[in-house]
Amino acid sequence: MTKIVECECNYCGELVHKDRLNGQEIPVNQDGTPHITTCAGIPENGKIPSDRSNQQIDQFPIADELATKQEKVNEIILTASKMSGIDPHFIMLFHGKPYVLRTGLLNKADKKGYRAIEVKIEEKIDNKGKGETEYIGYATLWPKLTEDDYNVLKSLPDNPDVTKIIVEALIKPFTDIGTASKGNVNNPSMHKYLRELASTRASNRVLRAFTACGFTSVEELPDAELNKGEIGGS
């Protein structure tokens, strides 16, 4: 979750936001574009005037360097999108590595077609250590027959036994698990939502299996945060 922080540009005085680009904090405009592209206080070559050398020179990366980083970010995201079949809008970079958002997994799963996802939660207390609780989510996803599946079944010879075997294989449920504890959740504000996080992680993992997505989801990361919809609006 990106936290917006307002600040004043040292070079033109305009009010900007701080955001992160490929792990580096940079000022951005209200529309999310890098402020260096519009800043009136920096020459077109991107170099800081010598009379401003006492200001925070590292506030802006050099223009060419910023453009190169953005190109690399876009290249990685587009490559990950092609490999996973997930829209690039649902892919984020952390420390230069691509991760998928839950919304992207749901979007692809909806297109493929599934009937339901069910998650059961188990609480496991560590009696030998600090007595902390680990939540384990067991997720099950039931696929549904698509129009292409029905067309294939119609083209088969009239053999009920063979048809039954094929249908059972096509709708065989996918299963996976996800865990959440203070040991694998770094954000203290999420510790009271470990049950919900375990559920989200489990369902994300089963969605990744169903959609054949090899990229880890954002919510599975140790620094993951849940939105209000996933924690009951709390």
* The residue to which tokens 């994300």 are assigned: 204
State which residues of the chain have pLDDT below 50: 1-4, 20-24, 43-62, 232-234
d(CA 97, CA 73) in angstroms, rounded, equals 9
**Angle CA 171–147–149, to nearest 5:** 45
* The residue to which tokens 């980083």 are assigned: 69
How many CB atoms lie under 10 A from the CB of residue 177? 16
Q: What is the pLDDT of residue 94?
A: 82
Q: What is the pLDDT of residue 100?
A: 93
Nearest to 171 by CA among 141, 126, 134: 141
Domains annotated for the chain, with CATH where assigned, are 5-61 (no CATH), 87-231 (3.30.390)
d(CA 102, CA 98) in angstroms, rounded, equals 13
Q: What is the pTM of this model?
A: 0.66
- Reduced to 3 states (helix: H, G, I; strand: E, B; else coil), residue 177 is strand
Q: What is the pLDDT of residue 143?
A: 94
Q: What is the pLDDT of residue 195?
A: 93
